[in-house]
Amino acid sequence: MSRVLLVDDDLELCSQVSTYLQAEGFKVDAVHNGEQGVGWALSGSYELAVLDVMLPGLSGFDVLRRISAASKLAVLMLSARGEDIDKIVGLQIGADDYLPKPFNPYELVARIRAILRRTRQQESAKSGAPKHDFIVVGDIEVDKNAWKVRRSGVIVELTAFEFSLLELLVKAAGRVLTREDLARIVLERQFDPLDRSIDTHVSNLRKKLGRQPDGSERIKSVRGVGYVYTKPSESDS
């Protein structure tokens, strides 16, 4: 049974969400302030934390920073205000996904299960002794089975969603992938034009991978369509 930590100061919401998640087969604990959230999240007892942005004292962003700095715990952020900046900041700090309040409980479960599928695949690959299946484009090497990425031989640490996104992009290097396809395959949901998740994950990838050896952009955006991973011979900016 998957253990989920709920960090939110809305007691009624915590009670409702806990009841629903338990009915869906999850074991849920709830805490109501940031300091408790950090302590419980770092206990090693949970697979995922559902973390609200607006918390008394220590904010949800500060909690996320502390969790991300000390563990690989998956985090789904909740944002009552639904502001783009909240969502973008959360993903940049290290959240796996976000969900604006109010939300449909079915959507919450779907998001949680999608995150857990990715993180479990990643952990299973790292803990086992898989056969290696490489995609190599220029100085980037993606080991599909071991869930590892190397740039010029040096391992680049990526989240499960970032890895899945990069794998799709390098596999289709030189070809544009639409935001619709990326959302459907990586996030496991229909694309919403107002959802900036894919854009923010791409931004994080760009920062972690850096530019091509010649200084050009590694992942180019195609306005109104999606993204393309540039082959070395096509890397002119």
Q: Are 213 and 142 part of one and the same domain?
A: yes
Q: Are 55 and 18 part of one and the same domain?
A: yes
Q: Helix, strand or coil for residue 33?
A: coil
pLDDT at 237 over 70: no
Q: Are 68 and 135 part of one and the same domain?
A: no
Strands 148-151 and 140-143: antiparallel
Q: Which of 86, 105, 124 is the last residue of a domain?
A: 124
Q: Are 223 and 194 part of one and the same domain?
A: yes
Q: Are 109 and 139 part of one and the same domain?
A: no
Q: Are 14 and 98 part of one and the same domain?
A: yes
What's the rounded Cα separation, in Å, for the pair 71 and 42? 7
**Token representation of residue 86:** 């909240």
What's the rounded Cα separation, in Å, for the pair 139 and 81? 41
Q: Are 105 and 164 part of one and the same domain?
A: no
Give the rounded distance of the alpha carbon of 235 from its chain centre.
27
What's the rounded Cα separation, in Å, for the pair 204 and 200? 6
Q: Per-residue pLDDT averaged across 61-69, rounded?
A: 94
* Structural domain span for residue 187: 129-234
Q: Per-residue pLDDT averaged across 18-31, rounded?
A: 96
Q: Are 117 and 159 part of one and the same domain?
A: no
* Model confidence pLDDT, tens digit, residues 203-230: 999 999 999 988 889 999 999 899 999 9
Q: Looking at residue 141, which CATH number applies to its domain?
A: 1.10.10.10
pLDDT at 113 over 60: yes
- Going by C-alpha positions, the residue among 229, 231, 101 that lies closest to residue 176 is 229
Give the Cβ contact number of residue 41 at 10 Å: 24
* Model confidence pLDDT, tens digit, residues 160-209: 889 999 999 999 999 999 999 999 999 888 888 888 889 999 999 999 99
Domain count, the chain: 2
Q: Are 162 and 198 part of one and the same domain?
A: yes
pTM of the full predicted structure?
Answer: 0.76
Name the packing angle between helices 197-209 and 84-93 (round to 10°): 40
Strands 3-7 and 48-52: parallel
Mean pLDDT of the chain: 89
Q: Are 18 and 35 part of one and the same domain?
A: yes
What's the rounded Cα separation, in Å, for the pair 45 and 42? 8
Give the Cβ contact number of residue 131 at 10 Å: 8
Q: Are 112 and 13 part of one and the same domain?
A: yes
What's the rounded Cα separation, in Å, for the pair 70 and 34? 15
Which residue pairs from 150-158 have beta carbons closer than 8 angstroms and sit at least 24 positions apart in sequence? 151/209, 151/210, 156/208, 156/209, 157/208, 158/205, 158/208
Q: Looking at residue 65, which CATH number applies to its domain?
A: 3.40.50.2300
Q: Are 136 and 105 part of one and the same domain?
A: no
Q: Which of 95, 124, 153 is the last residue of a domain?
A: 124
Instruction: Give, in degrees to the nearest 5, the angle at Cα 56 between 52 and 59.
Output: 55
> Are 120 and 100 within 8 A, CB to CB?
no
Q: What is the DSSP string of 110-127?
A: HHHHHHHHHHHHHHHHHH
pLDDT at 32 over 80: yes
DSSP letter assigned to residue 131: P
Q: Which of 124, 139, 160 is the last residue of a domain?
A: 124
What's the rounded Cα separation, in Å, for the pair 29 and 5? 5
